[in-house]
Every structure is written in structure tokens, then in C-alpha cells.
Structure 1
Amino acid sequence: MWLAGVVLAASALAGCASEGAEPEPSATGFASEAEAFAAAEATYRAYVDALNQVDLSDPTTFEEVYRWTTGDANAAARESLSQMHAKGWIKTGENEIRDVFELNNRTGVTAGVSIVACTEVATVALTDSDGNSVVSADRLDIQAWEVSLVPDPDSATRLLITDFYSWSGAPAC
């Protein structure tokens, strides 16, 4: 795991330092892989909470979703939520996180963290302005996503979601 390698290298250097010296932070700015993973999980949970609070008829509710994203994820969220609002769609139900796993850096994020998040979407419904479902009939109830996160340039302890990829590898949801 890329992040594990950074943490192991930092640990090896810390072992050579004088007693009582602080370990070097990882490339994410966190002192350990465990801290980086905890921050990544907390970020994803905050993002899902924000999604659950979205009211598609009120664009001001989109702002909290945008707050947890950057780059491609932010652009995609802005486009998607704006389109759903413009079409008059209605969202009901909530996403529920089932599990979050650490993941090897597979998407080319050079200074970040990747996780796999298993999210149940079975109770989330999207309907058009006439009340017709716009959810695909073959949507899976539990969706697995590789989530790439990078350090927030405005905070030493916060990460931002930069990308999502459909996940079908191990670990499985």
C-alpha cells in the first residue's frame, strides 16, 4: 500500500532519531496510516450525511456536499445536483454506510488516501416531477466505491474527496 510505505519509511527514520523525537508525518500530513484512514472515513461519512440532507428543490442544501469534495468529485456533484434540481426531481430515503476499508492507492493519487466504501442505497428513491421513478431497475442495493481523498489545503487534519470509482475488487461489500 502506497500510504503504508510512506508510514513505514517515516517509522524507520523515526527509529534512527533521538529518543522522544516526533515521527515524521506521512505525505497526507497525518502522523500514521491509521490517522489518515480515520480522517478518510470521517470525511466520507460527513459527505454521505450531507447527501442525505440534500433537498433537490433547495440548492442551498447542496453546499454541504460541495464542502467535502474537490476536483472531479466537486465538478460531478455540482453538475449532477444542478441537473436534478433543474429537472424537478425529488429524492427520498437515505444512504447508509455499511463498511469502509483501507485500500492500496490504485488511482494515481500521489498525496492522498484511497478507501473502499460500501453504501446501501436501497431506500433512496429519485422521482421526476410526475412521480415516476428515475432509478435504474438494475441498481444494486449496496454499492461499492473506491473513494480517493487528498489533504484539504486549508486544514492540517481534514481530507477532501477528489474522485469516485465503481469498485468490484477485494474487499467485497
Structure 2
Amino acid sequence: MTTTTASPADSDAAAFAAAEETYRAYVEALNAVDLADPSTFEPVYALTTGEILESDRKALSGYNASGVTMSGRTEVKEVVPHSVDGDVAELYVCIDVSSVTLTNADGESMVPPDREPIQAMLVTAERDPQLDTGALLIDVVSTLEGPTCD
């Protein structure tokens, strides 16, 4: 009987894969949000933990209470592995937000006129093999590092 043990490279690849799968699921969950229906927020919350969970709860409930509407879709354009430390993986991600609009209750756009249509993000996720996606997001922030997103 032959047994093999996972190499650090295998472990890193699994951490990156789980982080990417979780981030893609997060983007899809955000794309499916109806700001008028708080039950649609739950899939977003299920993919996050810590500060990002609290930030998403505050933002989505605030938009709901203020009558903000959202349309369009965020598209993941590129994912580049950055680093792994144990079960925590970081990815550079390029997203296209060009079609996403936020409109306040008065019908005015809340999107800054100088918003970049393609944005670079640093995504941090922690592996948890018991989850369907294999990880939870612990941070998603804009970044000037990583690949050039265009």
C-alpha cells in the first residue's frame, strides 16, 4: 500500500483554489442582492467573517433603510495568487464594475463620476474544509499592488 502526503505546494494550491472559489461565490452573491429584500443579503454574509462581515452588514442594511437600488453586475476579470500563510491565502483580483450603479431614493446616482471601471482588489480568505466553498473571506480591499488591471 502506497501513501502520499500533501506537499506544501499542494496545500498552497488548495488554499488559493478555496480563496478563489469563495471570492467568486461572494461576487455572485452580491450580484444577486436585491437591496429592497434583506433575505437576499444572507448568502453574502455566509461567505464572510470578522470585519468584512460587519462592514457588509452595515452597508447592505444602510442601503436597504435608505431606499437605495442597485443594478448591473460585477465581473471577475482576473485572479492572481499572491501569498499563503497556513490556511490564509491572498489573491490579487481584477473586477469590472462598469455596469454597476447605485441610485438613492431620489433617483440620483451614488457612483462617483471618477470611479475606475476596472478595479484591483486584494482578497484574503481563510480555509475551512467544512464549508462548501472551502473558505471564508476575511478581507477585500482595493490595492495598487499586484497585476495591472485594464
Normalised by the length of structure 2, the TM-score is: 0.90
| Corresponding position: 1:53 with 2:29 | no
Deviation of the 1:165 alpha carbon: 1.9
Higher normalized contact order (CA 8 Å, seq sep 6+, divided by chain length): 2
| Corresponding position: 1:44 with 2:20 | no
Give the strand-richer structure, 1 or 2: 2
Q: In structure 2, what is the Cα distance between the partners aligned to 1:172 and 1:72?
A: 27
SS at match of 1:80: helix
The root-mean-square deviation of aligned C-alpha atoms, in Å, is 2.1
**Which of 146, 153, 160 in structure 1 is aligned with 2:122?**
146
Matches within 5 A, 1:76-155: 76-104=55-83, 111-152=87-128, 154-155=130-131
Q: 1:23·1:31 contact (CA, 8 Å) conserved in 2?
A: no
For structure 1, the residue ranges without an aligned partner over 5 or more in a row are: 1-18
Q: Which residue of 2 aligns with 1:23?
A: 5
Q: How many residues align?
A: 149
Q: In structure 1, what is the Cα distance between the partners aligned to 2:138 and 2:148?
A: 22
Normalised by the length of structure 1, the TM-score is: 0.78
- The code of the aligned residue for 2:135 comes to L
Deviation of the 1:134 alpha carbon: 0.7
For structure 2, the residue ranges without an aligned partner over 5 or more in a row are: none
SS at match of 1:63: helix
Structure label with greater radius of gyration? 1
Paired-residue identity, %: 41
SS at match of 1:101: strand
Q: In structure 1, what is the Cα distance between the partners aligned to 2:132 and 2:29?
A: 22
